[in-house]
Structures are given as structure tokens and as C-alpha cells.
Chain A
């Protein structure tokens, strides 16, 4: 199984900050199959970015993704109040599909 490890597990930031979340895979995966989801408290996850860097329709351009092989990042520039949430990476290259443990972005 491919293990996905996210860091940090949580962070505190202020509105307007730039934050970078990291996701590492236990083996190399094609960038086509690395996705990021946002989950706000009490709601279902929502797709943010697929194929490492493609923003889902409607997602603000302050979100961006990059990476390759085993190291991927999600960057939120100019953090907004609605961005405080937990973010999960996911690999979909092979079953079992696996998620990272999540990074909770909290208000400082």
C-alpha cells in the first residue's frame, strides 16, 4: 500500500499569510494521481486540486499545488477566513486509495 504522510499535522496562521502544506508518498506516484481536498468542520470533503496542480472549477486562484514523485505541496497564498479547514492529500494511482492524515489550518 502507498502511505501518504502530511506535515505539519496542524498549523496556526493569520489572514493574509501564505502557508505551504506538504504531502509525501511512500513510493513514487505519477503527478496525475495526487489530489487535495478541503474539509470544513461538520461537512463533507470537497475537491480542491486534482492531478497535483489543476484547480477544480470554482476554486480560488490563491490555492496552488505542485510536486512530483514522492513530494507534493499545497500552497495557500493570502489566507482568507474561509480557508481555515483541514486539508487532505490523496493518491489514486493504485488500490487501496489512500489519504494523508490531514493538515488542520487554524486561526492564529
Chain B
């Protein structure tokens, strides 16, 4: 059964860095583009970044561009999000999600349970 498990969240001071991981199991990880999506406490969903299944392309939200880096290790079925220069407004639950891509539709299929990042002094 498909599973995504995020880890690496915690409390961090503004300006510091944090690396999130998303471990995949139960499906062929290398076949899927992967996204990070975040949700600030009590707020809606915000897309953060995507990496193509083979790592050939990445895209970022303007709010994190230049500060966050998405990467993956297909040999270890793991997705990463390296976050630097963290700000209070980066405080959120961070979810990873698989991307179903076909000729006629794109959508997020499996989601992890999320890992909470709190940026506070």
C-alpha cells in the first residue's frame, strides 16, 4: 500500500536552515513527480515546489524561490526539501504528495501525514 512519511520538522530560529525528508513506499517512486505543499496553522493549502520524476525539472513558488531546494534520491525512494533563510511566515505543516500526470489531467494523489515546521525566536 502506498505510503509517504515526512520527517525533519521542528522548531527553528529565523534565518536558520532545516531539511525535510519524505520517504516513499508501496509504489514505484521513480515514476512520479513529487510536490511539497504547506499549510500554515488555520490557513489554506499553498503549493511550494515540484520535482519531475527523473529530477530533470523543478519549479518553486515565488515565496520560497532562492531559499528552498527540492531534491530526490530515487535509489532511496526519498524526496527532500532543503529550507534556508527561514522566516516566521514559513511556519506550517509541510506535506509531500505524488503527482499523477497523464495526457488529460494532472492531480495530487497520495499525500503524507505532514511534518510541522515552526520558525520562531
Interface residues of A, Cβ cutoff 8 Å to B: 32-33, 35, 37, 39, 43-47, 50-51, 54, 88, 90, 92-93, 95-102
Contacts and interface: CB of A to CB of B under 8 A. Distances in A.
Given A96-B59, A96-B61, A46 B111 contact: yes
B109 A96 contact: no
12 contacts: A35-B105, A37-B108, A43-B113, A44-B111, A44-B114, A50-B105, A50-B107, A90-B107, A96-B47, A98-B47, A99-B46, A102-B45
A91 to B, nearest CB: 10
B104 interface: yes
Given A44-B114, A96-B61, A51 B47 contact: no
A37 B114 CA distance: 16
Contacts of A95: 50, 59
Contacts of A44: 95, 111-114
A2 to B, nearest CB: 12
Q: 9 nearest interchain CB pairs?
A: A44-B111, A92-B106, A50-B107, A51-B105, A97-B47, A99-B45, A95-B59, A35-B107, A102-B44
A47 B44 contact: no
